[in-house]
Structure 1
Amino acid sequence: MTPFPKIGASGPKALAVSDETVLSAVLADSRALGRVLRGRASHVPGHQEAAIKALTDRWIPVAELIRPEPTVSLADHCRWMNLINAARTPSAQREVPSLSARVACVRELLTAIRLALESPLTAAQLSAVIASAVSYGVYTARGFIDVPQLVVDLGAPGWMLKLSVADLVEEGVLRPAGHRYRVASGHSLPPGREHRIAARLRAQFAAGVYPAGTRLPRVVDLALNLVTDVGPLSRALRELEWKGLVVLASRRWTVTARVAELPPPPPPVPPLLAAVPYSASRVRETCRGAVYQWRYRIPESGIRDQWRELRAMAAQLLADTVARGGGIELRSARAREMATAMLPAQPEAALWHTACLAACVSDLMPAPRGTDRGTSSVRGGARVKA
């Protein structure tokens, strides 16, 4: 039997030191379980039963280390307890069908250990990511959430996301709606354009686009960047002022130190560079189209494809700005945050989010000769109502 590394009492993090060794041992013992049942006699020799007992004695302590506490993730805790108890239960009789069932249970336990070591996030961490996305308006009560959508959005395995969703249902953040889920009314972003704009600004604060002490751009300029009108933006800033995140001084809004208390935004979704660089005309045309669709509320069935294309354009232009320089740090930070933010699930919010990304991509474009940035923008200096 493969020598197993010594495990301390510091929990799953102790396994991370020898992940490769542990995974190879898991695979070796999984193959050994398959060899146990090669013979099909009516009774199984005692040494095969002893081999299975040796494997369970070896791996159940590892599963106990990985198993989270009920206060961390109740669904994941119950799953691990079921796996451990099923693997620990001895066969009632030493017959092939009974032993086959136990081998299947031990194999399932080994598979769970392997997946837990390979996964970068735990179920509790994914629950925190989904809850953060809810607080920043990515998921709202107006739309549905299902596990396949979360797999696409977060890139995590479906079995782990099911556990995370079960924990959020237990905490009251989500509520079942058939085979899908809705955000509970007490946790959802309130209806209203100003609340959506405030959530977008909070995400920028949390991502460090506007650090504490930074003076925000003029309201008119900020409205253009967020593809909205001054009215909803002013109400959003008043909401942030009530929460202590900004303060009005000398007719300019300033970010306060309380932004450090904001929950972290959802993890960034890195954009992919296109195989062939986009031309300037293609970038301007795509940006104009995205803002136009939002301005006139044109339903777009391929909004996710358009969002991916704009993210690739942002990545291309951000790489160009590093070489170009020229004091565009704020514009680069805004574009980087928008290009890596999750696309909201609600269709209208996704349309607005894509338009905001288009505005940031347009800001990275070098202005044509003989024009200033205000007249060369895809927005053309005109206010667009949100």
Structure 2
Amino acid sequence: MSTSLDQLPGIAESDCGVTVVLSYGMGVDSTAILLRWLVEPSSRDFDLADLIVVTADTGGEFDQTITDVEQIVLPALRRHGVRFIQVGRSQRKTTAKGDGVAVLQDTTAPTRLYRAAYTLADEMLSAGTVPQIGGTRICSIHAKGNCLDSVIATVTAGRRYRHVVGFESDEGSRAVKDALFNTDRRTGWYPLRDWGWDRDRCSDYIAAITGRRWLKSACGFCPFAMRTEAGRSHVAQRWRLEPQQGAYALFLEHVARSLNERQTLIEGSSAADLVATAGLTEVQSQFAVMLDESEHAVYEVRRLTRRPATGGAGRGITARSVRAVARGTRAQMGQDLHGRGGERRIGADGIVRHVVRERGDQLPALEFFYVVCPAVVEDKQRTGFESWWQEATTDAVLF
């Protein structure tokens, strides 16, 4: 049973040495660091009593990674009595004080990994979107970073600590960026860079001591894992082995795409195209079942892009209003859509939309349509949207 951060014990005053906190992502890099420290005492300059391993659950990790961690890493932590803290979100928003962050387990004898009550997929589905490529990985910050920062602040309680992050030997820029967050208490530490280890060296080390080739840690719907052809091939193979993960990725993409046809998990393509090209029929079958079993809704979707506030050049402000106007079975909502206004269109994604207003190229740009999709998206409208919509509608008529 999960607990709140205020029930999490800090570091005892009698502890000696500087605490070492490892942010454990369950992937190749952080696993290599942790296993080497456990197997080779000479590789570390601290006692294991001063080590705390923390991990945050996103709710979307591949089953094979969960299995590997539970069968290899957790038994090793138990043998050495290393403190292992699992955390996750209990709600969409978290605070620096730890509101919305739940401690799933805090123990020196872990036997299993626990699932967070609120997952990254919950966040994506309720917003009708997918993780965004480019810039800061907001999805990782929300599901991992914010949770880990809170738990680390709680357990260190103002004492000095070394924060271990698994940056590889060729990730100097990431280490430099992370070091900007150092304080008089927190010191970033990157053992793989000290050892000169890259991803291949980490993978070979894990294989040598465990007999397993550790797979990359990622959510089953991670768009960052599918940016390259090699990445897409790897993900397709994992979906072949874990079709439920592929089906869930298709479900998430379908919801986001219904509200915005440009929202896919693969830039310039889609997870649906990847599944079809790879011949992943079991993924498609499970996805079809998910759709059939889901409650559906007819959503009214309005989107606008305003002119820049200064009246000069710029992209302007984009805002969206999403509202469920009917709920029922998939078939019932399909019939309901027939009675909605607008021009009936079937997009390249195969999704039927009734377009009331098609987006233009000039600002203000407005878009308005009705669409049927699983009833998982929350009604949401940015403050001021209605006045902006009326203003933009008037402008569009005048110009």
Band of TM-score, shorter chain:
under 0.3
Which structure's residues are more often helix, by fraction?
Answer: 1
- TM-score, normalised by the number of residues in structure 2: 0.27
- TM-score, normalised by the number of residues in structure 1: 0.28
Which structure's residues are more often strand, by fraction?
Answer: 2
